[in-house]
Structure 1
Amino acid sequence: MNLLRKILFPFAILYGFITSIRNFLFDKGILKSTSFDIPVIAVGNLSVGGTGKTPQIEYLIRLLSDQYRIATLSRGYKRKSEGFVLADATSNAEILGDEPFQFYQKFPNIQVAVDANRTNGIQQLLSQKNKPEVILLDDAYQHRKVKAGFYILLTSFDDLYADDYMLPTGNLRESRSGANRASIVVVTKCPKNLSEEKREQIRLKLKLSCSQQSFFTFIDYDDMVYGKEEKIAVNELKSESKLLIAGIAKPTPFFDYLKNETDECLTFPDHHHFSDADLDAIKNKANGRKIITTEKDYVRLKDSKLVSQLYYLPIKSTFINHQQNFDATVLEYVKTNSAT
């Protein structure tokens, strides 16, 4: 923890007090939460920064979309539109935000919507002629105005909420007690070989209740990178000199997976909108080499002047074990709360 964050500790206490009062008012029904008569699953975290929400939402889409009509609802962080927007053929990353547009591109059989007001967003989705049967709320753990039926809380292996502090001293949006709302806690970005002993230590540290289940996942990288017209095996690409770029919260694992000693890496802020100057700088830096980026960045760059040399590396969330238990728990919630 740096010195400035330590100095700001009194403000962290104040922020924690304010968020605790807010949660207390929602818990007691003094502030209103709206419930809906279809399954609503909220995925989020207690902290700011990347905990792997996008691959977790994609996992749920794959799990549920064969049996149910699915909609995702996000706020559309850094989008240039306002209000409720339902994705269609005219949509792009600027209208939807990068992650919702990624969902729309990858899963054409689902509805993808954005609205900062999640209550209005759900109401708008349910007013559609072909309304969804299940709604997945992306990054909505603190959005207490909607009372989801099922909460999935994510926390990164190397940045557990149990070890963190409130903003601005730490990265927590609300106190650790907010984890009590979770139906399931998923520890993300684990080492693939994480031992059962270490997993048990983490469970004890998280202090989960007997009704809460915990699971452990790791980021699984594709063995191919994909461009507009071709794909290349990662094993072939690793020996080639290339430029790696990322505008995500925690890019180090992405770089480490692909880079060799001749590669160069460029880092941009999370959800970065690439300007013409950025594109020129990237192209000059690449100097004719292939440019490899993340899937989230690719949706913002695929129509740019970089497209002829641009490729992306997909990722997915993979369970270390007990995947069937996770699937069964989610499916049982959806089945029990679906209209008959």
Structure 2
Amino acid sequence: MKYFRWLLLPFSLLYGLVVIIRNWFYDAGIFKSHKFEKPVVSVGNLDVGGAGKSPMTEYLIRLLKDNYKLATLSRGYGRKTKGYLVAALFKGMPGVPGGTVQSGLDDSHHQLADLVGDEPAQFKHKFPEITVAVCEKRVEGLKRLLPDHDLIILDDAYQHRAVEPGLSILLFDYNRINEPHFVLPAGNLREPFSGRWRSQIIVITKCPAQLSASEQVTIAERIKPLPYQSLFFSKIEYQQLEDLAGLPVDTVIDSDTTVFLLTGIANATPLIKYLNTVTTDIIHHKYPDHHPFTLKNITKLADEFKACTSQKKVIITTEKDAQRLQESWFNKDEKIPVCVIPIRTVFLNDDDHKFDQLIIDYVREY
């Protein structure tokens, strides 16, 4: 497949030219880019696929939510609705735009994901006290949100040039740092690598916990941050297992455990590497990113799980994937244990205080 992609280089040149012209129109003011008087923080990446935007957004939420009235604004990829919508959790009400059922089985995850997308649904379930909104037209969404909020976090909006955020955080996946800097379709970049200049903060995500100083220097030489850009390195830290309702469970994984891993994310490699540190018996049910799970998918998984003769077995999925699941799917005949593995962003080199201060200083300017 990788050799076939080399044949696509002419199309990449054409695509890259179109993106460069589009960006130039915005930079020159021919296309209007809106600025706002309140702090707007953008989290994004240059390449397609997961670079850790959701855990970074959640890091920012934890940092700021106690002192500021904040909202997140996303496009709402994969949702079944259109336009501006605010996520809400209602009890005992039928599913309506902006709200969900919250039944005893907590199937509200699946219903809210249909309305706003899996990642916004994840934000709302984890942080019910904040505003979570979706809108394809981010300018419209910002105009609606800003009058009632102190700041907005834009999720996956680096290429949305109609908005000029006050602070842009650009993420690069450590596992893809050495890939050629080609745009689609021959490469994986949404825009040319030179587009990194618009960010003030660059974070290399999903790094090994023991990333050496010399390798950090090598990566910095590869990224070539500009003088005004701050470069950070971070890792993913896996948290205690939870059930689909977000409650901690006592399940312990060891070398005797058979793990049925269910994923519909862009890159499950870091999770598999982590699970391999405790067990090698992993049966991976892999689906494309944002895959809308169906009862047929889950029935296949449940049948394999019940047929497994291992004395210790468990189904594990990610937080994002859990938003697209209905717990009732796993309770048709008997209780099948489903565990969710939460993750958090942790900065290397004890740089969390430095990163936090950059964010807080920017917000306080307003």
TM normalised by structure 1 equals 0.94
Matched residue, 2:221? 204
CA contact (8 A) 1:190 1:219 kept: yes
Match of 1:325, SS state, is: helix
One-letter amino acid of the structure 2 residue matched with residue 209 of structure 1: L
Question: For 1:278, which of 260, 281, 297 is the aligned residue?
Answer: 297
Deviations 1:144-194 (A, max 9, x none): 001100000000112128743110010000001100001000000100100
Q: Displacement, 1:323?
A: 1.2
- Equivalent positions of 1:1-340 (< 5 A) are 2-89=2-89, 90-91=99-100, 92-127=112-147, 131-160=148-177, 163-228=180-245, 231-233=248-250, 235-236=252-253, 239-259=256-276, 260-287=279-306, 289-306=313-330, 308=335, 309-321=337-349, 322-336=351-365, 338=366
Pair 6,303 (structure 1): closer, same or farther in 2 beyond 3 Å: same
In the alignment, the residues of structure 2 paired with residue 24 and residue 313 of structure 1 have an alpha-carbon distance, to the nearest angstrom, of 42
CA contact (8 A) 1:228 1:311 kept: no
Match of 1:287, SS state, is: helix
CA contact (8 A) 2:241 2:339 kept: no
Deviations 1:46-97 (A, max 9, x none): 1000100000000000011111011000000010011000011224111010
CA contact (8 A) 1:40 1:134 kept: yes
Match of 2:289, SS state, is: coil
Pair 229,105 (structure 1): closer, same or farther in 2 beyond 3 Å: closer
Match of 1:333, SS state, is: helix
In the alignment, the residues of structure 1 paired with residue 248 and residue 255 of structure 2 have an alpha-carbon distance, to the nearest angstrom, of 14
Work out the percentage of aligned pairs sharing the same amino acid: 41
Pair 162,180 (structure 1): closer, same or farther in 2 beyond 3 Å: farther
CA contact (8 A) 2:206 2:270 kept: no
CA contact (8 A) 1:241 1:263 kept: yes
One-letter amino acid of the structure 2 residue matched with residue 106 of structure 1: K
CA contact (8 A) 1:302 1:310 kept: no
Q: Displacement, 1:261?
A: 3.6
CA contact (8 A) 2:146 2:152 kept: no
Q: Displacement, 1:3?
A: 2.0
CA-based RMSD of the aligned residues comes to: 1.8
CA contact (8 A) 2:244 2:327 kept: no
Q: Displacement, 1:230?
A: 5.8
In the alignment, the residues of structure 1 paired with residue 246 and residue 80 of structure 2 have an alpha-carbon distance, to the nearest angstrom, of 29
Gaps of 5+ in 2: 90-98, 101-111, 308-312
Deviations 1:213-249 (A, max 9, x none): 0000001001334344863356445532231111111
Q: Displacement, 1:325?
A: 0.8
In the alignment, the residues of structure 2 paired with residue 233 and residue 320 of structure 1 have an alpha-carbon distance, to the nearest angstrom, of 29
Match of 2:257, SS state, is: coil
Match of 1:244, SS state, is: strand
Q: When the two structures are aligned, how many residues end up with a matched partner?
A: 334
Pair 30,163 (structure 1): closer, same or farther in 2 beyond 3 Å: same
Match of 2:175, SS state, is: coil
In the alignment, the residues of structure 1 paired with residue 246 and residue 82 of structure 2 have an alpha-carbon distance, to the nearest angstrom, of 33
Deviations 1:116-145 (A, max 9, x none): 100011112135xxx111100000000000
Match of 1:24, SS state, is: helix
One-letter amino acid of the structure 1 residue matched with residue 145 of structure 2: L
In the alignment, the residues of structure 1 paired with residue 179 and residue 280 of structure 2 have an alpha-carbon distance, to the nearest angstrom, of 36
Segment drifting more, 77-86 vs 221-230: 221-230
In the alignment, the residues of structure 1 paired with residue 137 and residue 245 of structure 2 have an alpha-carbon distance, to the nearest angstrom, of 35
TM normalised by structure 2 equals 0.87
Pair 199,317 (structure 1): closer, same or farther in 2 beyond 3 Å: same
In the alignment, the residues of structure 1 paired with residue 192 and residue 250 of structure 2 have an alpha-carbon distance, to the nearest angstrom, of 44
CA contact (8 A) 1:161 1:176 kept: no
CA contact (8 A) 1:162 1:205 kept: no
